[in-house]
Structures are given as C-alpha cells and as structure tokens.
Chains A and B, each alone.
Chain A
Amino acid sequence: MAERIFKFFEQNLPYGSAGFAAVSALLKSAAFILGFVMLLAGVLTWMERRQSAMMQDRVGPSRANLGRFKAWGLLHFLADALKMIFKEDFVPPQASKLLFALAPVLALAPVLIAAAIIPFGAPLCYGRMTEVVPPGVCAMPVALQAVRLDAGLLFYFAVASLGVYGAALAGWASRNKWGLLGGLRASSQMMAYEVTMGMAVMAMFLVYGTLEPGAMVHAQGNWPWQWGVFGVPQAVAFVLFLTAAIAESKRTPFDIPEGESEIVGYFVEYSGMRFGMFYLGEFIEIITSSALIVTIFFGGWRFPGSGLLASHLANWLFVLISVGVWSLKVFFFCAFQLLIRWTLPRLRADQLLRVGWQRLLPISIANVVLVAGWILLWR
C-alpha cells in the first residue's frame, strides 16, 4: 500500500520539478500545521487545565465524551472550540471595526507562518523511500521542513515579531483604556525579550555557523552529549532562550500584558472565536518555541541509535520514527512550559522589564562575546 503511493509520487512528480516542489511543500505544511501544530495546540488547551489541576491536587476537566469514548476528558478541546464558535461575537460599538477584526489574525498568523521553517523529521530519500538508505548516501533528499530558507531563524524572528502588532492593535482597536494599556505592556515586553532571544540564537549561530534550522540539526549528533545544549556556553543560551520564549508567548511568570486575574489585558473586549484565536495563538507559540528549542538545543529529530535504525529500516519507516521522536521532544518541552506556567508567580511590570533589559540582555551579550572568543581562539 505504502509502496504504491510512493511509486505513484515518484513516477508522476520527478525530483526537482515545479510540480514536485508545489506538492511536497503543500503536503509538508499541511501535515505539519494541520496534523501536528493545530492538533497539539488543541490538546494543549486541555492539557494546560488538566496538568495544572493535577499539580494542585485537583482532578481537572475529565467529563467531555462522545458516548462511551472519554479518553480522560481529552475531548474537552473540541467542546471548547464548539463553544467558542457559537458564542456571541461582540464588537464594541466604539471600536475600530477593521483593526478589531485584523488583530486576532495578526496574533495567530505570524506564529503559524514562523513555524514553517522548523524541520520535523529526518530527510526523506525521494526515489528510494521503500529501500534501506544509510544516512548520508541519499541523492535526492526531501527535507521535512515546510520552507527551507538559508535565512532560517532570521525569518522566524522577522515573522514572529509581527505578533506584537496583534497584541498592540487588539488593545488599540477595542477603544478601551485598559485594553490599550495591556497592549502597551505587551509591546514593551515583547520588544524587551525579543532582543535577548535573538542574542541567545546568535550564540548558537556562531557555534553552528548557520541560521538554517535543518543544517543546525544536521550539525548536532545522535547522542545527547552531542546536542547543542550540553556545551557549557550553550546551556546559558538555552536558559536565556527558554526564558525569553516564555516571555514572548506572554504567559506566567511573564503574563503582565494579560494578567487575567488582576489587571485587564489587551484582549478584554474580545469574545467568541476572536478571543479563541488569541488563545490558540498563545498555545501555538508554545509549540513553536518548544520546536525551536528542540531544533537548536536538543538535536531536532536526532536520537541515540538513529544511525543504526536508518541502516536497517526502510527509509519511510525510519523517517516516521524520527518524526515521532521529534514530536515527543516537542511535547516534553510543551509540558515543561506548562509546568513553569503553573509553578511560578507573576513578575511585576517593572521587574519584568528590569529582568529583560538589565539582567538577561547583558548576560546574552556576554554569552555571544564569550562564544565568539571561544570559536576564534580554540576552533
């Protein structure tokens, strides 16, 4: 069955043709965005509530079911989506209608687009998908990446930083003072932490000598001690990047823009699916940042024994396993971010900016200088 599908593709779409490029890009982005990111984001909305409940000795959402099928309440995210769709879509009469409608899109779209550069599995060997292909001998590799850009991470930052417009516009367009203040907090915070994030990645860029995420994964080894994080300066970059990524997704302990329990956030006037887009965008941001962390610091899809597996299994099977391993790694970091979110208390706005500008930024710059010197002198 699988072989016939592969044969069909290989005969009708020769490697390198325009049709091949279009179809493969379409399939890859569909599989990645619909099959992984959206699905996991939905599951995370349930997991966040369930995990936080378990951390606080509660049970959490466990009731949603389809007849006998319950799966510990996993279906809650479908019920939530249904609720969001059918809720009243309220637009404040004073609001700027166009910007009000645009803001949630601007919050959701950049994180989805930015995810396109992330490699989610070992390269598929086109033309020899059903054969055993040892690593490094493939003539026509298809990178499992929706988009393969040399600018890679720069593209990620360029697009992801557009997300700040979503937050700022949401606060501005809803013509609500508290919303506007929330939008201001969001933009000041996101700008502060974006710099640190960029600096942390710059150190990694110096180590790998490339900004292309696929090449970054390629530069790392199969064993955990060959992954990016376990060199000493890279561990610093990892902590910096993780901190900045959490701040970037505007979640506790950095949820000043929203501050749901005390201060009013920038999407205070949003309801229904428009709010749902902000909500989903937040979770997609968790996934994207986790995927980036896995790619840059934790070897991407690489795992111990992958060389052995590659030289014994059919290529497509091995790729499937590598995608599974990559998914598990990303899932682990998503769960870890949820753990952090439900453990730490929120920082005050001025503390947040002080941590960003006065602590993390100098450390990240020092890290870049140290890594650069290390590479210059010892490599």
Chain B
Amino acid sequence: MATTVKTVARPAGIRRQTYLVAVAEGLWVTLRHLMKNWIGNLFGQRKKTDIVTLSYPEEKRPYPERNRGLHRLMKRESGEVRCVACMMCPTVCPAHCITIVPEEAPDGSIEKRPRIFEIDELRCVVCGLCVEACPCDGIRMDTLVHAPPTLRRADAILDMKALLSRGETSTATQGGVGAFWREKLKAS
C-alpha cells in the first residue's frame, strides 16, 4: 500500500489562530490549581488541597488489613509457641526460607514442637503460603511491619525468640484440647 499523507486543515478564525484565548484559558486552569494548593499548603490545610502526595516518613498511608508484613509466631495460652513442627510451612515455602528443627515436647498431648524456628526475611517472597498452610494458626504475617533493614545478612534471619516477640495468644482451638473459644470467652 502506498503511503498517503493526510493534510489536516488548520482551525480557522482569529480566535483559534492567535492562541491567545486558549493560552489565557490554560493559564487560568493552572493558576486555579496553584492558588488552591499553595494557600492550602501555606496554612497547613494539606487535606483541603488537591495534593495527593504523602510526605512519607512523617505521613504514612495506612496498610490494608490483609497486608502481609513481617512473620510472627503465635502463642498458646501458656505462652509456649503454638507451632507443632508439622513441617507444612517449610514444605510449601517457594523460597525455602523457613528452617525448622523439631524436638519432642515435654507435654505428651502436644508431642512435637520446634527447637529451632528460623525465617530468612531476605529470602522470603512474602507470598503468605506458610500462613495458608499452617494447620494450627501458628504463623501469621499480619504485623503490618516491613522487614527491617540490617547491616549484616545474618541479622535478617529471625529466630524463634524474635518471631515470638510479636506473637499473641491465638483464639483458635488446637489439638482437640480446651473448650471452644466462644464458650471460653463467655465463661471468663
């Protein structure tokens, strides 16, 4: 196909051709934004302006509830770790960042517990599969905290103590022991 050139007719009329009206209109639009944002910003009323920028370290956008942050290990009511070292999470983890060394729990009804539970936050891809895989609400990612920057790579590997430091008592029932938590709440 031969190349064709389509000549677009220039807009007619002195109003369009001088550009002056269009220029004035454009200046009015930008001036309106400038005045609104400038005056609002000057008097500390950033919210009332059109500015959507957040001044990051001072202002932070709240994370959604389901944000996946730093891992944490949940606790039993006794304060012990809930994890029963079933090895579901290191198995499902696509980044192989979870290391669990199990040991025998002194409580016979629990049978297994982790002796070592480490997560390499540098390898973690924050997919949340470990949380999905956990059968007993032992691991969660709902801390809303980023993996903190560290000076050494080794510091990014969180051990059980660090993981438990953000832990709470889970309200889920575990191992068939204990009353249904709603009934328990009622009782207390």
Contacts and interface: CB of A to CB of B under 8 A. Distances in A.
Contacts of B41: 54, 59
Contacts of A239: 20
B55 interface: yes
B27 interface: yes
Contacts of A343: 23, 26-27, 29-30
A56 interface: yes
Interface string B22-33: 010011011101
Interface residues of A, number: 15
A339 B53 contact: no
B37 A54 contact: yes
Given A54-B38, A239-B20, A342 B30 contact: yes
Given A239-B20, A344-B23, A58 B51 contact: yes
B50 interface: yes
Interface of A: 51, 54-59, 62, 72, 239, 339-340, 342-344
B51 A57 contact: yes
Contacts of B42: 72
Contacts of B33: 54-57
Contacts of B55: 59, 62
A180 B15 CA distance: 37
Contacts, number: 43
Given A51-B34, A342-B30, A343-B30, A57 B50 contact: yes
B30 A55 contact: yes
A342 B23 CA distance: 12
B56 to A, nearest CB: 11
A57 B54 CA distance: 12
B31 A59 contact: no
A59 B27 contact: no
Nearest to B20: A239
Contacts of A51: 34, 38
Nearest to A50: B38
Contact of B37 (A57, A62, A339): A57
A51 B41 CA distance: 12
B52 interface: yes
Interface in B11-49: 20, 23, 26-27, 29-31, 33-34, 37-38, 41-42, 49
A342 B27 CA distance: 9
B90 to A, nearest CB: 44
A28 to B, nearest CB: 34
B27 A339 contact: yes
B53 A59 contact: yes
Given A57-B52, A62-B55, 13 more contacts: A51-B34, A51-B38, A55-B30, A55-B33, A58-B51, A58-B53, A59-B51, A59-B53, A72-B42, A339-B27, A340-B23, A343-B23, A343-B26
